[in-house]
Amino acid sequence: MNIRIQSSQYFLIALLLTPLAALHAADTAKPKPNLLIIYADDLGYGDVQCYNPERGKIPTPHIDKLASQGMRFTDGHSSSGVCSPSRYTLLTGRYHWRTRLQSGIVPLWGAPLIAPDRVTVGTLAKQHGYRTACIGKWHLGWEWPIPADRETLFKAKSKGEATASEAQRAVWQEVFSQPIGGGPTTRGFDLYFGTDVPNHPPFCFIENNRSVGIPSEFLTARLVGNNQASLPGPALADWTLEPILPALGDRAAAFITDSVKKPEPFLLYLPLTSPHTPLSVNEAWKGKSGLNLYADFVMETDAVIGRVLEALEKSGAADNTLVLFSADNGCAPYIGISDLEKMGHYPSGPLRGSKADAWEGGHRVPFIVRWPGQVKAGSVCGQLVQQSDLMATFAEVLGAQLPANVGEDSVSLVPLLKGGDQPVRNNAVSASINGVPAVRSGTWKYIPAPGSGGWGKGGDQSQPVQLYNLAEDLGETKNLAAAMPEKVTEMKALLEKLVTEGRSTPGAAQNTDDAETRYPAKPATAPTKKKAP
């Protein structure tokens, strides 16, 4: 007897024969999300329209759209009012002031700030099968192979329009023909492409651990100063500044397009070089803002961000990608802040101060997360968050447990991203360029020094410390320190606890790299912490 089985019956038989556990796994298994970090450089809290709708005059449609599709944090902070320290903290989940970098930035030709065995978000992702890339500004130091006997010759600075000597070209040839150690590909990233620091030498791209080309001339004098390059030094003969930002956008888009063809998920850390100086605005964007060159550069930066997000959308990976957008610190005063304010644009929005300051304008920054299906579109969160929180957030997303010596200052933002509105952290510390800490405990803020601690002008220099209640005084106009000495004592004790325990999250106390500077300064006879082994 012939028995005919219909296709629907085949499906039913197969379904009955399939183990229930396998069916459950198929239903519940979800691919790991891609992770995209877009990090602007020197972008003020008020430079983004959705953060400053009344006193912001620069159109930022692509960043605004990202916010409308995700969650906008209004109390998000970098760990510093300047560059290198904020980058260290974002990548490691550990405050920068636990390292040797107590103030300032990683200097020109500086050594790596991230220790070789320190876990970064790139390392964490790689441990969970991710393909990782860093495209853009590194500024966390390298192991430059500069010969000790010709260090002075290698680092010589030109004065005016200068021609490199044959000896200088020879040492540059020797150094830039070698691999450069200690960079992103040794700190958790499979791939790197960028300019390290666009306003510092070497004036060339670096790909992975090698310069793209051999610098052989001093950068032309017309590109030094006037909010272009900050320092002279070795450059490619035909190097110009305008192509840098578009090249980073192109590389990022290409990495995303290529990554979706591969089986593993990706993490892309995209630290843009803009709108930091050099204000190397391309012709298509000059004059677009109607304000000044910096405002034009903000618009061009927004367009590059839009280009990268468009590539993500076209790749088909957008729905399974967590995108974080933020900035390393506030807007720099030297790009013409006073002129912008006269024209009705306030780069710090309602905040006091700007880049380099312990005041809010130095380190309260745009902080946006889009994660389709997980984060409610158009939501706003007023809870205190820190860029150090990326490490613990990614760990929870990946189902990882962080060891005691990883992400010591990182807490997961997942409860907030899922719609919760309870604090995930009770305190946070950001610092000025000079190392002056700004300590948060709830809505209270303590600065153990007079003034801005950075470049900001003003402040009552007769009052040695500052205390503000940001819930009532976001502009930091009323110093309550003299009226509330008990609160000052409490905040001072909190800072000391955070310093001495080597962490701000629950767990075993950790060593620090160096003895942290104390503010207000301790007596010279006071014991200091020994350097960690």
| pLDDT tens column, 357-385 | 999 999 999 999 999 999 999 999 999 99
pLDDT at residue 517 in the model: 77
DSSP 184: G
Question: For the residues 404-426, what does the mean pLDDT come to?
Answer: 97
533: confidence class by pLDDT, cuts 50, 70, 90: very low
20 pLDDT above the threshold of 60: no
Q: Distance (Å, rounded) from C-alpha 234 to C-alpha 387?
A: 34
Question: Which residues, other chains included, contact 23 with Cβ-Cβ below 8 Å and sequence gap of 6+?
Answer: none
Question: For the residues 194-219, what does the mean pLDDT come to?
Answer: 98
pLDDT at residue 29 in the model: 61
Of 462, 426, 431, 471, nearest to 447 by C-alpha is 431
516 pLDDT above the threshold of 80: no
Domain of residue 324, residue span = 56-425
Given a contact cutoff of 8 angstroms between Cβ atoms, the answer to whether 95 and 409 are in contact is yes
Q: Distance (Å, rounded) from C-alpha 338 to C-alpha 319?
A: 41
127: confidence class by pLDDT, cuts 50, 70, 90: very high
Q: In this structure, how many other beta carbons lie within 10 angstroms of the beta carbon of residue 451?
A: 21
SS3 for 35? strand
Q: Distance (Å, rounded) from C-alpha 460 to C-alpha 473?
A: 17
Q: Is 471 a member of any domain? A: no
- pTM > 0.85: yes or no: yes
Counts of helices then strands in the chain (DSSP H, E): 14, 18
Q: Is 18 a member of any domain? A: no
Q: Is 206 a member of any domain? A: yes
Hey, what are 335's tokens?
Answer: 């790009």
Strand 206-207 with 444-447, pairing: unpaired
The total number of residues written for the chain in this structure: 533
Q: Is 101 a member of any domain? A: yes
Number of structural domains, the chain? 1
Hey, what are 385's tokens?
Answer: 């968050």
pLDDT digits 0-9 by tens, 226-275: 999 999 999 999 999 999 999 999 999 999 999 999 999 999 999 999 99
Of 329, 288, 273, nearest to 44 by C-alpha is 329
Between helices 293-315 and 61-68, what is the axis angle to 10°?
50
CA distances from 448 to 80, 105, 429, 443, 518 (A): 15, 21, 12, 16, 9
pLDDT at residue 450 in the model: 95
Hey, what are 455's tokens?
Answer: 């470049």
**% of the chain at pLDDT higher than 90:** 87
pLDDT at residue 64 in the model: 98
pLDDT digits 0-9 by tens, 477-493: 999 999 999 999 999 99
Q: Is 436 a member of any domain? A: no
Between helices 293-315 and 244-259, what is the axis angle to 10°?
10
Q: Is 21 a member of any domain? A: no
- 282: domain CATH number is 3.40.720.10
Dihedral in degrees, nearest 10, Cα atoms 63, 64, 70, 71: 100
pLDDT at residue 8 in the model: 42
| Long-range contacts (CB closer than 8 Å, 24 or more residues apart) made by 508-513 | 508/404, 510/404, 510/405, 510/408, 512/98, 512/99, 513/98, 513/99, 513/100, 513/115
Of 282, 208, 289, 213, nearest to 247 by C-alpha is 282
Cis before residue 520, ω within 30 degrees of 0? yes
Given a contact cutoff of 8 angstroms between Cβ atoms, the answer to whether 499 and 415 are in contact is no
Of 57, 100, 13, nearest to 337 by C-alpha is 57
Hey, what are 511's tokens?
Answer: 């060593």
pLDDT at residue 56 in the model: 98
pLDDT at residue 137 in the model: 98
Which DSSP string corresponds to 36-90?
EEEEEES--GGGSGGG-TTT--S--HHHHHHHHTSEEESSEE-SBSSHHHHHHHH
First to last CA, the chain: 83
Give me the helices (H) in 399-475, please: 414-417
Question: For the residues 439-467, what does the mean pLDDT come to?
Answer: 94
Given a contact cutoff of 8 angstroms between Cβ atoms, the answer to whether 385 and 413 are in contact is yes
527 pLDDT above the threshold of 50: no
pLDDT digits 0-9 by tens, 301-336: 999 999 999 999 999 999 999 999 999 999 999 999
Q: Is 79 a member of any domain? A: yes
Given a contact cutoff of 8 angstroms between Cβ atoms, the answer to whether 327 and 365 are in contact is yes
The pair phi, psi for residue 211, each rounded to 5°, is -70, 145
Dihedral in degrees, nearest 10, Cα atoms 287, 289, 291, 293: -60
Given a contact cutoff of 8 angstroms between Cβ atoms, the answer to whether 107 and 155 are in contact is no
Q: Is 497 a member of any domain? A: no
Strand 71-73 with 466-469, pairing: unpaired
Given a contact cutoff of 8 angstroms between Cβ atoms, the answer to whether 411 and 389 are in contact is yes
Angle at 183 between CA 92 and CA 154, to 5 degrees: 135
Half-sphere exposure of 239 (CA within 13 A, CB side): 32
Hey, what are 289's tokens?
Answer: 């803002």
Mean pLDDT is lowest, of 15-24, 83-92, 262-271, 497-506, for 15-24
pLDDT at residue 521 in the model: 61
Given a contact cutoff of 8 angstroms between Cβ atoms, the answer to whether 108 and 200 are in contact is yes
The pair phi, psi for residue 426, each rounded to 5°, is -95, -20
Dihedral in degrees, nearest 10, Cα atoms 154, 159, 162, 164: -10
Of 169, 107, 111, 73, nearest to 393 by C-alpha is 73
Given a contact cutoff of 8 angstroms between Cβ atoms, the answer to whether 250 and 306 are in contact is no
pLDDT at residue 4 in the model: 42
pLDDT at residue 418 in the model: 97
Angle at 29 between CA 121 and CA 8, to 5 degrees: 155
pLDDT digits 0-9 by tens, 22-70: 333 333 467 899 999 999 999 999 999 999 999 999 999 999 999 999 9
pLDDT at residue 9 in the model: 43
